[in-house]
Chains A and B, each alone.
Chain A
């Protein structure tokens, strides 16, 4: 949740780049509602059915509580035409992008970001 807190804290900088931050996990609607309340400037996806995570191949098997599956950390930049512009997939879940790194990637890879 540290990651989401940092993204929320920088929401104005994402807005200035005409970019919304959509965050997704394999949790259900109830957990997603709590996350949405905690981070009101992010768009929270409840992907318990894995419709999005399967397509994005962002599932880390047996790495969650009680050996359940969980999301593999990944960040994808999609432009307003629906085209993937950039993806970041760390080799280990200990590593995440900082907001500054994500903002720099937006500036670099999404042409109409401003």
Chain B
């Protein structure tokens, strides 16, 4: 009885070309979703974008292992660099130094002196009076 050889089930279901395409889409999807998030004015760490990008790199790696080619290895290298940079930005560059100051809940705000936009003085006494104060530090106009 004659037999025919066929590709392994996993290879047939997920050919390298499909893995490559899916990987590229996932790597691009992370930043695209973050843009959508920012437009929705939601200011949180986009962990999902990192996860999606990493999954994309994993698929590109699988594609390159399954059928190595210059294109697949190049795509893997570029995607790896982009996703690595995203992880570095979130885990290192965006990290704020640990707080070591004197401000503490339940304690009077320490003495200070600064100015408002109109040049008038703003100090600890300015936060006493009829109203409560929500003091928000923002990064600036840039």
Decide: B97 and A52 in contact? CB cutoff 8 A: no
Query: A11-55 CB contact bits vs B (8 Å, 1 = yes)?
Result: 000100111111111110101111110000001111101111111
Q: How far is the CA of A102 from the CA of B138 in the complex (A)?
A: 14
Given known A-B contacts A33-B117, A92-B90, A92-B94, A57 and B100 have beta carbons under 8 A apart: yes
Chain A interface SS verdict (over half): mixed
Query: B130 — which chain A residues lie within 8 A by C-beta?
Result: 18, 80
Query: A71-88 CB contact bits vs B (8 Å, 1 = yes)?
Result: 111111111111111110
Chain B interface SS verdict (over half): loop
Q: How far is the CA of A79 from the CA of B113 in the complex (A)?
A: 18
Query: B109 — which chain A residues lie within 8 A by C-beta?
Result: 55, 76, 78, 82-84
A and B contact pairs by CB, cutoff 8 A, 28 listed: A1-B138, A2-B41, A2-B43, A3-B138, A5-B41, A19-B131, A19-B134, A22-B127, A22-B133, A23-B136, A29-B117, A31-B140, A32-B117, A34-B141, A36-B117, A57-B99, A71-B140, A73-B137, A76-B103, A77-B134, A78-B133, A80-B130, A84-B106, A84-B108, A93-B94, A94-B45, A102-B134, A106-B132
